[in-house]
Structure 1
Amino acid sequence: MLFFQGVNVRLSSSNPDQIQKRLLSKARRAERARLRYHTMDPTVKQLQNARRAEMLRKSRARDEELCQMAENCDIMTLTEETRNSVIAAQNRRARRAEQARAKYHRMDSDERRQYNAMRDAQRRQRKRELEARQQQHLQEQIIIMAKEEATKPHTAESTARPQQQSSQQHSETLTPPSENPSTGENQQQIFTSYEIYPESIY
């Protein structure tokens, strides 16, 4: 990586002519971008700054994820593409840290006081956001556990009811003829008349 006139250039070729052309091309594009920015209306410039800040925020968040990935696992177990992304993210983070240190040392006492106050406010904000996310995650886990506990008795009752009905039906089939409470004898059905059906003639 080469830093030329405020532009970072990745040296992917060993040909000096190609390197020189790439340096000049990137420098011209950067100069045109600066000119466009200075000629923008204040409203357009504000939108441009907001878009750029959002892009930088997402880029830094992605770099932090890649750096944490490298800290939590063996980098050699990752794919080559992911490994290259992790190394590039680590280099960008180190470069940003070095630039921040150099900028801090150039500040006077008042600027350092304001900068430290801003950093403290940012740390407190991040801490509050982290605590809020943890609290939300805890509430979600409590709701999930409550739903699981609420479904357990219903499941047991629904499975026990068919078993109870089947056992009741089974006991009814095995119940002997009821006894007359006055005589103590079994009540049996007695047929007093019969119907005679004529024999069929074939």
Structure 2
Amino acid sequence: MSSSLTNLTYDGAVYETGPGLEDLCISDLQAVEQWVDRPASAWAVQKIGVLLSKIESYTYKIYHRNRYGKHSLAKLIPVHVMIQYANEALGFDGWSLEIIQIHAADCRSVPSKDPAQDSSSDQRYEVLSEAKVRLQLKDGTNTEASGFGSAVASTRGDSFSKSKKMAINDAFKKCFLHLETIILEHEQRVASNYYVDGLYGSKSKKAQ
């Protein structure tokens, strides 16, 4: 079994059954390849490289301004910029985002800015949220990341809404930034012949 999309092959793979499964037709089983944290095709490797070059160009300018210190790239890059780069490098239909889980971890009252005032109209609320999202490219390449958000607003509803949005954006950017690690690890695995035929691995074939 092979796939032109993922450049995988299971030729030569040997399947065995355990005790009590002798009568099971092995052809009825469907092998499912897990693609978390690895590129699924040569297309992904090439397109991710383009995306990373755009991100590097953006952060290079920021890091060389004296008023900026070293910060997490997830904090430096605005969400709209990351979306723009993703659309340019991967195509508008080349990627999708799925929210796996979102949770408001904490909600507390924040003291008024003016200690002399003790009015309910000055009451503010701080909410901490955590989100887990999955980024998937159109060839099957996917990765997951968790993000965190904190927001303060005059109502609980606004605090929850803003903190959840911030958590999702944080996780979203981390997913894209993690693609660099995926590519580096993939290159090392290809060089060391890490991928082998079988259900729990695959042999990478060079493009003809």
TM-score by length of 2: 0.20
Question: Relative to total residues, which structure has the larger strand share, 1 or 2?
Answer: 2
Q: Rg: which structure is higher? A: 1
Highest relative contact order (Cα 8 Å, sep 6+), 1 or 2?
Answer: 2
Q: Per residue, is there more helix in 1 or in 2?
A: 1
